Structure 1
């Protein structure tokens, strides 16, 4: 495997390979563009000789203005060169705006993006251009020296390259030309990699800014998904409440009416009606609990105080509830706070062995603080099968923080902070 890889690499860097000539063309085509920055800087020195202060000011102003105006077009030309010759696609820089003009480019003088371009055009690019010129010179010198024997015979005998008088010298020069031709592809490959890497890092989007933009974009998309899921839960809750639940209520009422009025039926038929009536009431209770678990209507209508008061009233333990929310948060954040308290109270009843629970929901600035504390036996953990991991994920879906303190012997305290900036 190693020998085949080495052989393939040697063939790729052969002087006659397509990759070698593609990289050479890429390196050579970049030289004029890479020297354009210094050409703009040197232009006023050539056009206007130093005669007075105004000319010196021109020396200073023209390079700055010219370089700022051509920085983006030159960068676009380099990116296009990478794509056209090497097939390397480098994303363009973020646009300044649809209505941006030349003056907007001058307003970007404090932009880190602009100075990345200037760094390439005045520092990195010229260095790569020198390496590119060295690559071209290596090819030309190699070709000239390798073929020196082909025309040395025609030179006069007193020439320093005469084949008749300096055969050993001609042999050495030919060998040197072969070495240059063998080394030129490797040099072209190295310069091409350097050039493409510099274009990507300095003339393409800034990696840090791009990552920051992608994080912000992903955060917005995640928030949209969370809001859409909450909206869908509310829609399902409304459809069940207004549709299926009402029909079940009507069915239970009809069965109850039949149970009370149709006393003359055979005992078997009456038993079926009684069982159907009881079953319909149980189904109705289960459906109400399911609807409440999706998204309680009271939460949307009256807020956290009323919704959590209903949850606390259904817990078979003394619950001290404190809700201080001067301004309501978004419906998504309120839903997360509600389900955190509801699930935490369910865990207390099932697992904690507590005799009392304290619940506090307080809004301080742009943060909603939720605390649930019990005097139970403690020992709660994410691996205990109590749904804490699901609660933490639900809190994390809105960029909140979830902390639990539960030493053996208790008490257990759950602290949640939810961002709720309007």
Structure 2
């Protein structure tokens, strides 16, 4: 039993511990109240995108986005409210303070995850900043769905809705429908596709990104890996190099089957950076830019014949960037890859699609429809109506993208005219006229 003289000191220590517990509990309550109040502001979608932008996507895409956002917000708010209840319980029972402090940290982390999710979705919606841009992005939404629907219908898969948004940079990207978002439990209800400004009116990259979505839903990527591996069975080093690129190659094949040579020229404009075209960054899922361009030219040669603008592009690129300028370890791989390209290209085009019963993608998407002669025939038959008729948009909208991209690539002196024509077509200005 402690000596009587020590009792006042023990009482003083207990009082101090109690006061410290009260201060800690009060501060935890203050922190949780702040994050909870901030979370409740998320209930207003106008915090993230203008009402006009939401209205522009509300019909088919905005509604599921809002539902997913609202579910994430309400789950966050419930998390915050339960954290406050735990803190108040800890005010009565200081033994639970450590548990309450850990809960506050988890709530903070969850808030950041939800904020990241809502900020991304809000920025995507809010990129529709003007009537013309809203019109263009809305038509790209439709073209993206049109590019997936025939394949996914044949595969017995539902076709997701698409939200196309404009952003900076040189290359497009996709956040696929069905992937998990930053907020726990939140799943992307639509495919969000980034289109960059310089390619907004030459949007062949849109179909590269929808190719990623289709490949994911049909099991095509794994089949592409096997096809490439078989084509390079006699060269283990090349096989090791090429097989990890299968996902991006599948998407390139998809864009090529829909838009032909236009996709190859547009791709080269992205990868033709002198600083990177002959480099192989560790872990990059994209083929070396030099090989990726040559592979696109090989697709064109196989499908359209040896002569055409693809032959000119290949000659110009290899003259400007000879393989010998690559690093000593990469240069021989580039040279051997170039020699193997006809077989690689054929294997990629013929790769079976499991969800299509093993048929290749070209069995549904005939590349002959985007051959230069076929596009010229479309231009001749439709005449001026091609650029203003809703009928031609619905029946051949993606081939119109292919035609405009081809003409821009073929005739650099008239590139501005073709971009303006495509701009008027996508924004509806041609139809209004």
TM range (shorter): under 0.3
Higher relative contact order (CA 8 A, sep 6+): 2
Which structure has more strand as a fraction of its residues? Answer: 1
Larger-Rg structure: 1
* TM, length-normalised to structure 1: 0.27
* TM, length-normalised to structure 2: 0.26
Which structure has more helix as a fraction of its residues? Answer: 2
